[in-house]
Each structure stands twice: as C-alpha cells, then as structure tokens.
Amino acid sequence: MIGYLALGSNQGNSLANLKAARAALEALPEVQVVASSSLYETDPYGPVAQDDFLNAVIRIETTLEPGFLLGKIHQIEADLGRVRTIHWGPRTIDIDILLLDDVKLTTPRLTIPHVEITKRAFVLIPLQDVYQEKTLQGKSLSEWIEATGDEKTVRLSEKVW
C-alpha cells in the first residue's frame, strides 16, 4: 500500500526529531520511505501558545494494515519522547497517517483519510511535494490549500534532511 504520513515537531531539536522519526520508519521491515517533502516552518495549530513547528510529509510503501501501522507509529513517537498531555499542545514528534491507498476507515483510534487533512495548510503544502495523485477528495491540493486561508502560516524552511 502507498501511504502518506505527516511529521511535525516543536520541542527540543525539531530537525533531529524529524530525522529520527523518518529513520525509525525506514528501519521497519514492513515500511519503505519512498519520498520526503521539503521541511516547512509553520505557526502552531490550536489554542495553546507554543513554538513554531517544523513539518514534513513522507510517502511510504507498507505491507502493514492500518491498525498495525498506527501501533508502530505510536511506538516510534513514545521512543522519541512523545508525551500526550495537552491536545494540540507542543510535542517532540507527531506522526499522523494522512492517506493509505484508497482505505476509508473510521474507528475510535484512527480515521483514514485523516479527518483534518483538507483543513490544514501545514499538511497540504508539504503533501503537495510528494503526492502522486491529481486530486484529493475531488479537488486539487492547490484548491484545498487556498480554502484553508492559512497558506501564509507555512514557510519553506532553509533546513534540509
């Protein structure tokens, strides 16, 4: 299956956190990272005052079913020091499954496509770097980005990975 994962960090060394998360995903025998977006500096999302985020999206190939992939992702987040205390709060690492082939899934733990994917410029702009399809839910990524009204909160970073 082809999947797209969003990665974000705004605690500690964000660049090192994103690199470590990508390396941990690459180390999984059932996952192959096939493309990585550029890095983007973004304003924090949500009502909690916090530092800006460093965000990216990676395209993967995986043999893992969605629930098992989520379990591996949660383990990587925990290994990298993620503590879930404040909803939409600061974090060392956040990894979200955005899309996984044409899987449509809604469970208490996981929704695919990600429920907020079309509302977040900080996800859509890096997704645009690696997304292979022409449309997402019937619109181009450019149309979704414009609809967010948040494109100015996402800045291409000088940092590289």
So which residues are the catalytic ones? 82, 91, 94, 96
Angle at 51 between CA 49 and CA 56, to 5 degrees: 120
Decide if 100 contacts 66 (C-beta within 8 A): yes
Provide φ and ψ at 116, rounded to 5°: -105, 5
Q: Which residue has the tokens 């925990």?
A: 78
**Tokens standing for 53?**
């985020």
